[in-house]
Amino acid sequence: MSVKAILDEKGRQVHTVDPHVTVRDAVEALHKHRVGAVVVTKPGDKIAGILSERDIVAGVSKYGAGCLDKPVSALMTSKVHVCNEEMSINDIMEIMNHIRARHLPVERNGRLVGIVSIGDAVRRHITAIEQEAEQIKAYIAS
């Protein structure tokens, strides 16, 4: 299964924030949307960074509660690893494992078009394994 198939199934909505909003506002967005990361974007759906729960915990550790009043750009990860729609589940799982990330923004022609999480990848991987097991059972039974 490809990233495109995952996005076609789950949707392409991505929760984004501007680099200048406060971390407090971003935390409220994470809570409101029940997500673990927001993509930080510039005009034209260009990716400027990503702010995850881990980034916020690191900010609290470094700056204390005052980090909530800093701009997102002060805590975000600006060197963002991305994927594209043609990549497979195995490709993105390998990237996520290698960089220890739980979210990968999806880009097309330099623009943000979706996001995949490790949960998305694992769910689709399990589904593929279950389907393969059913096919094997049907083959053996025939």
Share of the chain above pLDDT 70, in %: 100
Which secondary-structure segment (H or E) carries 105? strand 103-108
pLDDT of 123 over the 90 cut: no
Predicted pLDDT of residue 127:
84
Between residues 132 and 104, the one the model is more confident about:
104
Do 19 and 42 meet the contact criterion of CB atoms below 8 Å apart?
Answer: yes
The confidence band for 8, taking pLDDT boundaries of 50, 70 and 90, is very high
Q: What is the CATH number of the domain that holds 82?
A: 3.10.580.10
**What number is the average pLDDT over the span 115-136?**
87
Predicted pLDDT of residue 60:
96
CA–CA distance, 95 with 53 (Å, rounded to integer):
19
Q: Which domain holds residue 96?
A: 3-141
CA–CA distance, 16 with 25 (Å, rounded to integer):
11
Between residues 45 and 55, the one the model is more confident about:
55
Q: Work out the mean pLDDT of the chain and round it to a whole number.
A: 93
pLDDT of 130 over the 90 cut: no
Give the gyration radius of the chain's Cα atoms. Answer: 18
**What number is the average pLDDT over the span 41-48?**
92
Total number of domains constituting the chain: 1
The confidence band for 17, taking pLDDT boundaries of 50, 70 and 90, is very high
Tokens, residue 128: 């593929």
The confidence band for 121, taking pLDDT boundaries of 50, 70 and 90, is confident
